Amino acid sequence: MTKILGKKELESWLSSIMKDRTLVAPKHVDDLTLFSPVQSVEEIAFNYENTNLSPKELFFPRTDTLFTVERKDSEMEITPAVIEQETVIFGIRPCDAWGIATLDGPYLDDPADSLWAQHRAKTTMIGLACTKPAPQCFCTSMGSAPNDSSNVDILLTEVDEGYAVETVTAKGERLLQGVELKESDVKPSVPSCDTDVPAEGIVEATQKVFDDPYWSRLADRCIHCNICAYVCPTCYCFDVRDRTDRGKIERIRTWESCQSKGFTRIAGGYDPRADKGTRLRQRFCHKLLYFPQQFGPLGCVGCGRCVTACPVNIDIREIISDLQELGAKVGQGSN
Amino acid sequence: MVKEATEKVIPNPFVPYPATLKSVIDLTPDVKLFTLELDRGEDEFDYKPGQFAFVSAFGVGECPLGLTSAAHRKEGLQFAVRRVGSVTNALHQLEPGAKTGVRGPFGNFFPVDDYNGKNIIIIGGGIGFAPLRPVINTILDNRDGYADILILNGARTPQDLCFAAEFDDWAKSPRTKLELTVDAGDENWNGRVALIPDVVAELEPSPKDAIAIICGPPIMIRFTLTKLKQLGFANEQIVTTLEGKMKCGLGKCFRCNVGDKYVCRDGPVFTFEQISQFIEQF
């Protein structure tokens, strides 16, 4: 039997969540759909393919305070940032939830990143299966699925009578406490994500193509605008700096991108990745080679955001195919 | 992969230990030696030659700096800081008594105990000499543990040679040779005017039972490596410490990677045998 939550019941459940927690949900903002805190159900966008920005910023904000420093005479007090707010995310897509779980690799690796860990602990994720994968989507090729419930606390799948409910974790069960679910014999089904990207064996292929001129050719058209990193659910590089405001000092971290000029420039001026080719290679080798070597999964979940956002059509799906092709040639000794 | 992040309180690894600046000494026109004392004492801050730490100039930021003191000497935490960027410029403005912060120690270290009984060749260029000073002072304080020692310190000009006040002590140590070189001399300079790799070729240190330790700008490291190889040094006999843009020291910001290796966690100390396996150039 399938547990069903009616549309009206979903709305009143979300309204009750908003009373004592921050509810973050997809919201239409001008031409975009973005995860935003919402104060009423009317603000929530239920009809969307995916948000323009990934929900990683709910765990890894664009700008996050690490600690504050206060000076009193000759004394100095350092106060670490603490995340107190309980947050519920409604409408996270399975690919994005997988992106968050993927980033547990580096961020919870010892010594754990305390802010990431706190955000994770304070957040409950209500996933929404994709009933209409977008043309740029390729999550199935990357090992997930439009109804993958592995990385959310609760997964909802739209059906005629409302939403089929799959309770995945104890946290999800707590959030659903007291919510009345109907039983039904409807079988929730979602279409598969059809784009076929040959990701199998990509780690080995990428390694073989590392020194190929492919990268600099590809980078010729890159304008290092960094949009790929900002929309990506698994890009996690950052910068750390201080911000001051009338005697108050905050050490903050901000998003940064490996495509930025000077990303690796060291004191004295030497930059091991001074040209665009080596920087672009870094982006794809991080996702397809280093990340899986270090943490297991690929650093791409197939959300397709970079595909639509890139102004010069650098397309990770094509790159994966190209690398496979080039890698196979190296294997045959004809390159 | 975890499903629910742990609820236990995790200390924030970005929070530095509060520290007080004890003394500032000019080493060269643009390098100062800072001695810091942790407000809570140094019992929990045990470090080895080659490790580094982040030092804060609150209000501007923090940057990674090689520890240039040897822990066993208990002289406080010392850093030789060249004025090159915003944080080092801010540090250069500080005076004794100033409050700062230290995060670390990070990275691996030169395994000097493993070099027992060997001839040691230490080659440093410019501010790259800073992380080699604790190696020298650790080895010289246990002089009987090692065979012949050759120290080669090079800089752009005579004024830029770091740690000149210690040259006599080093040179006076038994079976220890100190060689200095500059790229360009001045009216008072009677010493060598030559690039470090050329001096290495001239001195011809023997690879027999030897370990060569190099630190300096990447270009100097590469050319010196070539000369040492020509002299017969094997990759595993040559050790260096690499520099990388870093923001965390924790293997998270992904700024300092060379291929799948982090300079901050897998290094900064690598043998050339390890470096020869790197997929990417440092």
Q: What is the dihedral of CA B195, B201, B205, B210, to 10 degrees?
A: 80
Q: Measured between alpha carbons, how far is A173 from A165 in angstroms, rounded to an integer?
A: 11
Q: Are A315 and A305 a contacting pair, CB within 8 Å?
A: no
Q: Measured between alpha carbons, how far is B183 from B162 in angstroms, rounded to an integer?
A: 14
Q: What pLDDT, on a 0 to 100 scale, did the predictor assign at position A21? A: 95
pLDDT in tens, B146-185: 999 999 999 999 999 999 999 999 999 999 999 999 999 9
Q: Helices in chain A by DSSP H: which ranges?
A: 7-20, 94-108, 114-122, 170-175, 202-208, 214-219, 227-231, 276-285, 291-295, 305-309, 316-331
Percent residues over pLDDT 90 in chain A: 89
Least-confidence region, from A74-78, B199-203, B220-224, B227-231: A74-78
Q: Does B174 touch chain A (CB under 8 A)?
A: no
Cα A43 to chain centroid distance, Å, stands at 23
Indicate whether A165 pLDDT > 50.
yes
DSSP chain B: --SS---S----TTPPEEEEEEEEEEEETTEEEEEEEETT-STT----TT-EEEEEETTTEEEEEE--S-GGG---EEEEEE--SHHHHHHHH--TT-EEEEEEEES----GGGGTTSEEEEEEEGGGGGGGHHHHHHHHTTGGGSS-EEEEEEESSGGG-TTGGGHHHHHHSTTEEEEEEESS--TT--SEES-HHHHHHHH----TTEEEEEES-HHHHHHHHHHHHHTT--GGGEEEE-----S-SSS-S-SSEETTEETTTT-SEEEHHHHHT-SS--
Q: What pLDDT, on a 0 to 100 scale, did the predictor assign at position B8? A: 62
Report the gap between the CA of B209 and the closest CA in chain A (Å): 33
Q: Are A228 and A309 a contacting pair, CB within 8 Å?
A: yes
Residues 180 through 199 of chain B touching chain A, CB cutoff 8 Å: none
Q: Measured between alpha carbons, how far is B204 from B131 in angstroms, rounded to an integer?
A: 24
Residue B42 pLDDT level (bands cut at 50, 70, 90): confident
Indicate whether B282 pLDDT > 90.
no
Q: What pLDDT, on a 0 to 100 scale, did the predictor assign at position A268? A: 85
Q: What pLDDT, on a 0 to 100 scale, did the predictor assign at position B2? A: 42
Task: Read off the pLDDT of each residue in B97-103 and give the average, rounded to a whole number.
Answer: 95
Cα A78 to chain centroid distance, Å, stands at 31
Q: Where are the beta strands (DSSP E) in chain A?
A: 2-5, 22-29, 32-37, 63-72, 75-80, 87-92, 123-128, 154-159, 162-167, 182-184, 238-245, 248-255
Q: What pLDDT, on a 0 to 100 scale, did the predictor assign at position B43? A: 76
Q: Do B101 and A210 touch (CB under 8 A)?
A: no
Q: CB-based contacts of A72: which residues, under 8 Å, 6+ apart? A: none
Q: Measured between alpha carbons, how far is B110 from B130 in angstroms, rounded to an integer?
A: 13
Domain limits, chain B:
17-106, 112-241
Task: Read off the pLDDT of each residue in B228-232 and give the average, rounded to a whole number.
Answer: 97
Q: Do B1 and A118 touch (CB under 8 A)?
A: no
Q: Measured between alpha carbons, how far is B247 from A266 in angstroms, rounded to an integer?
A: 11
Q: Measured between alpha carbons, how far is A154 from A170 in angstroms, rounded to an integer?
A: 10
Q: What pLDDT, on a 0 to 100 scale, did the predictor assign at position B7? A: 53
Report the gap between the CA of B150 and the closest CA in chain A (Å): 27
Closest to A216 in 3D by CA, of A123, A270, A136, A280: A280
Alpha carbons within 13 A on the beta-carbon side of A189:
5
pLDDT in tens, A82-107: 999 999 999 999 999 999 999 999 99
Residue A67 has its nearest CB partner, among B12, B82, B219, at: B12
CB pairs under 8 A between A and B: 154
Q: Does B130 touch chain A (CB under 8 A)?
A: no
Report residue A168 as tokens. 């995945």
Q: ipTM for the complex?
A: 0.92
Q: CB-based contacts of A265: which residues, under 8 Å, 6+ apart? A: A271, A274, B245
Q: Measured between alpha carbons, how far is A156 from A2 in angstroms, rounded to an integer?
A: 11
Residue B44 pLDDT level (bands cut at 50, 70, 90): confident
Percent residues over pLDDT 70 in chain B: 97
Closest to A244 in 3D by CA, of B86, B60, B14: B60
Closest to B212 in 3D by CA, of B234, B242, B188: B234
Residues of A in contact with B279 (CB under 8 A): 207, 210, 285, 289
Indicate whether B248 pLDDT > 80.
yes
Residue A264 has its nearest CB partner, among B59, B99, B245, at: B245
Report residue A228 as tokens. 């790929």
Q: Measured between alpha carbons, how far is A171 from A177 in angstroms, rounded to an integer?
A: 10
Task: Read off the pLDDT of each residue in B187-195 and give the average, rounded to a whole number.
Answer: 96
Report the gap between the CA of B148 and the closest CA in chain A (Å): 33
Q: Measured between alpha carbons, how far is B123 from B131 in angstroms, rounded to an integer?
A: 11
Q: Measured between alpha carbons, how far is A101 from A82 in angstroms, rounded to an integer?
A: 21
Domain limits, chain A:
2-184, 202-263+270-330
pLDDT in tens, A231-254: 999 999 999 999 998 888 999 999
Indicate whether A334 pLDDT > 90.
no
Q: Hunting for tokens 């200390």 — which residue is that?
A: B11
Q: Position A13: which residue type?
A: W
Indicate whether B19 pLDDT > 90.
yes
CATH architecture under which domain B17-106 falls: Beta Barrel (2.40)
pLDDT in tens, A185-235: 998 888 888 789 999 999 999 999 999 999 999 999 999 899 999 999 999
Tell me the pTM: 0.94
Residues of B in contact with A104 (CB under 8 A): 1-2, 5
Residues 198 through 217 of chain B touching chain A, CB cutoff 8 Å: 217
Closest to B14 in 3D by CA, of A84, A113, A257: A113
Best to test chain B binding among A77, A104, A203, A242 (most B CBs inside 10 Å): A242
Q: Measured between alpha carbons, how far is B213 from B232 in angstroms, rounded to an integer?
A: 15
Q: Are B263 and B242 a contacting pair, CB within 8 Å?
A: yes
Q: Are A317 and A202 a contacting pair, CB within 8 Å?
A: no
Q: Measured between alpha carbons, how far is A256 from A243 in angstroms, rounded to an integer?
A: 16
Q: Measured between alpha carbons, how far is A95 from A138 in angstroms, rounded to an integer?
A: 9
Indicate whether A54 pLDDT > 90.
yes
For the B112-241 domain, the top CATH level (class) is alpha beta
Q: Measured between alpha carbons, how far is A269 from A221 in angstroms, rounded to an integer?
A: 25
